[in-house]
Amino acid sequence: MLRLAKATCLLVLLLTFGSVWSATGVAFVHGTGKQTDALNDYWTTSMVNSVRQGLSDSNNYVVINCDFEQYMWDAQAAGCLAGQLHTFINQRGINDLVVLTHSNGGNVMRWIMSNPTWDSRYPQIIDRLRWVNALAPSSLGTPLADAVMAGNVFEASLGWLLGYQNDAVRMQQTSWMAHYNSNWLLGTAGRPNLPKPFWNVVGSDVHAALWNSASYCGGYQYQVGLAVTQWWLNSCSDGFLECSSQNGAGSLWFYDHWVTQSGRKLSHHQSRRDCFGLDVILRNDL
């Protein structure tokens, strides 16, 4: 209801001051990983092309490519994201920016929104931002990161502490995110609001049965793997993140089955793909 009221207000403003408020743009922000072609490797062109049809000028979009294997505040992570968003809004005159993030991309965006004095580009990005639609954000971290970051400090060399994990995985351990949420990030329970809305889309299950058509959107092989990773998660999860983490900061927009076609649930892989009408929901939100 709140979201609808805000959208109505924006529509009224848009109709009233249309010539001033006309440049809406959308940015696609990927999750953990070092991307050089996120359009094809992370989102797929069918997802991006479908969503951007909701823009009055469908060229007002940018697909971010940064190194999100780093800590969120790193110059290659938040610095890179700020650089690409800053260039996008200035080159295309965007003054109404909608940012779509997936997974850890939500944390990097939330870093920018929480620490506007970190970098002189951040305030302008926040000023132009309408809101963030956070697809399965890892706001409270994931037990999977805890599970893989371990050995025994009394019994072995500590290579495992630093060796085969990147900083983004270390950062998404649950107690690490609790620290950053309490001290550096805003929008979680008991903390001040973010300067702009951060709307969560929560994926709540994984279907991985040969006879279930929901298992095939985005690739059956991914669904099988995500069903396995659910072993380390509680009953409401998308195979990578528990629902509580996905809705741990900002505000709930919707749980997958509330609005998707036939009430389908979105796995962590499917929440970045044009599965079960998600692309249309995001398109209609622009």
Partner 1 sequence: MKTTNILIALALMSGSAFASNNIEWMPGSESDLVAGRLVSETAAIPASQHAESAPLSYTWAAGERSATEPAAQGVVVESRQYWVDVSARSLDTGVKLPISAPGAVVRISALDSGTRLQLDPGHLELSINGQSLDRSALEMSTGTEMRQEGMQVPQDSLAFRLPGDSEAGTLHLQMATGADEVPMVIHVHEPESPWVARMSTTRSTFLSDQSIEFDVLLDDGDRVFEVDQVRAMLVSPDADQMMDLSRQTNGKVLEGVVPVSAISAAPGLHEVHAYVEHNIGGATVKRDLKLAIGVAPASGRFSGDIDMLPALGLSLDLGVEVAIEGRYQVNAEIFGTNAEGEMEAMAFTQSAAVLEAGKNSIGIEIDAQMLLDSGLSAPFEVRHLQLLDQGRMFVLEHRDQALRIGPPARDIRGRSDEMIR
Residue 89 CB contacts under 8 Å (≥ 6 apart), including other chains: 25, 95, 97, 124, 125, 128
Rounded to 5 degrees, what angle do the CA atoms 89, 191, 181 make? 75
Distances (CA, A) of 194 to 114, 185, 186: 6, 9, 6
220 touches partner 1 by CB under 8 A:
no
Q: Which of 29, 60, 65, 79 binds partner 1 (CB under 8 A)?
A: 79
Residue 30 CB, shortest distance to partner 1, in Å, is 12
Determine which residue in the list 170, 254, 257, 259 makes contact with partner 1, applying CB under 8 A. 170
Asked whether position 7 contacts partner 1 by CB under 8 A, the answer is no
Q: Which is nearer to partner 1, 54 or 79 (CB)?
A: 79
Contact flags string 247-286 toward partner 1, x per CB under 8 A: ----x----------------xx-----------------
Stretch that binds partner 1, among 21-29, 41-49, 83-91, 158-166 (CB under 8 A): 158-166
For residue 172, the minimal CB distance to partner 1 (Å) is 10
Residue ranges in 92-151 that form contacts with partner 1 under rule CB under 8 A: 115-120, 122-123, 126, 144-148, 150-151
Q: Which residue has the tokens 């998707």?
A: 260
Contact pick of 60, 101, 133, 173 for partner 1 (by CB under 8 A): 173
As measured in angstroms, the least distance from the Cβ of 110 to partner 1 is 14
Calculate the CA 229 to chain-centre distance.
20
> Between residue 42 and residue 71, which ones bind partner 1 under the rule CB under 8 A?
71
Instruction: State the CB neighbour count (10 A cutoff) for residue 12.
Output: 10
Q: Given the complex with partner 1, which of 60 and 245 has the nearer CB atom?
A: 245
Residue closer to partner 1 by CB (options 25, 218) is: 218
Helix axes 105-114, 80-91, angle to 10 degrees: 80
- Contact between 209 and partner 1 by CB under 8 A: the answer reads no
Three-state SS across 214-225? HHCCCCHHHHHH
Binding residues for partner 1, total number by CB under 8 A = 73
The smaller minimum CB distance to partner 1, of residues 61 and 71, is found at 71
